[in-house]
Amino acid sequence: MKYLNPLIPYFFGIVILFTQSNFDRLLTINLILQSLLFLLVVCIPIYRTQRMSYVDIAWPWGLVVIGIVNYLYSDGSTIKILLSSIIVCIIGLRMGIGAISLWKKGY
């Protein structure tokens, strides 16, 4: 139970977002994709290698996922959605490619 106690505020936040938000579809898709990314890029490699550095590889790619989900599923002004998605994806790609190159060098 000690591992779940720090997550209680996050669970409450998710419940509030899903019950009070107009973005429930966007939230659901993002939650599923981020969880899948975290499982494949962080949890499994950490379990196999006992190295925590995989977190630094995964979180920039989470930004890329957010940018893609934002572009594909948001409503509103197309140019605003496109610009915000491109900016978030560029930031994530820049850091993600750097993290992968450092990982390949053994850091």
Domain residue ranges in the chain? 24-104
The 10s digit of each residue's pLDDT in 40-60 is 999 999 999 998 889 999 999
- State the average pLDDT over residues 12-36: 88
29: its two tokens: 């898709």
What does the CA dihedral 80, 82, 86, 87 come to, rounded to 10 degrees?
0
Q: Fill in the amino acid letter for 3.
A: Y
What is the pTM (predicted TM-score) of this model? 0.83
The 10s digit of each residue's pLDDT in 59-89 is 999 999 999 999 999 888 999 999 999 999 9
